[in-house]
Structure 1
């Protein structure tokens, strides 16, 4: 899983920030590693150092063979914005991948369906 960190509006793109973000995302999103090809991180400070909820983190996860998922979170600090966006991304991935699993499950045959066929056949021959 590739992680790309972009910064803008008053945030210096430091190597330490990239290493920390990559380590944190690899740790928290490790269970989705096989489904994800890349995660893009966009950090901005709209207040340019002033107080307020103007630090924003946008995370975009690229799923293998599916449309990307993007989430945003604003916070008082970059840490708050980044961690909040990560929580939202986990929920979005769980929801999306859960729907895919359920959809694939519906396409398969179940034991219950196979067990009903002989009973229907027995009722028709009477």
Structure 2
């Protein structure tokens, strides 16, 4: 699983930030790593837009095999909180998506064992 980090011009990117993003995102989605090809991370500071829920935004987009890309975002006053919040949302979204995909696969499989009523007839 690849994690690509992108920042806008207002975010100072450094090794510590990259390490933090890598560890938080990896920890959140590690159990799905065989299903995820990559996660795109977009960090920005929206203070110019005067958002009421915080100026820092973290957008995460996961590319899951066999499914449409899953995107979530979180806003916070502190960038690290936005990253953590978005990672938690991504984990829940992937759990939900993979659960639906698993359910579709279960319902699509043919019935191999006859029901008890069918045997008696």
Answering whether residue 47 of structure 2 is matched by residue 47 of structure 1, we say yes
Answering whether residue 2 of structure 2 is matched by residue 2 of structure 1, we say yes
Report how far residue 118 of structure 1 moved: 1.7
Report how far residue 51 of structure 1 moved: 9.7
Provide TM-score, normalisation by structure 2.
0.87
Report how far residue 13 of structure 1 moved: 1.5
CA distance in 1, matches of 2:92, 2:99: 10
Aligned residues: 118
CA distance in 2, matches of 1:9, 1:17: 15
Q: Which has the higher contact order (CA 8 A, sep 6+)?
A: 2
Unaligned runs of 5+ in 2: none
Report how far residue 8 of structure 1 moved: 0.8
CA distance in 2, matches of 1:29, 1:46: 26
Matched position secondary structure for 1:67: coil
Provide TM-score, normalisation by structure 1.
0.84
Aligned to 1:96: 97
RMSD: 2.1
Report how far residue 117 of structure 1 moved: 2.6
- Alpha carbons of structure 1 residues 74 and 42: separation in structure 2 relative to 1, 3 Å: same
Report how far residue 109 of structure 1 moved: 3.8
Runs of 4+ with deviation above 4 angstroms: none
Aligned to 1:12: 12
CA distance in 1, matches of 2:114, 2:6: 53
Report how far residue 108 of structure 1 moved: 1.9
Report how far residue 37 of structure 1 moved: 0.4
Kindly indicate whether the alpha-carbon contact (under 8 Å) linking 2:38 and 2:62 is maintained by their aligned counterparts in 1: yes
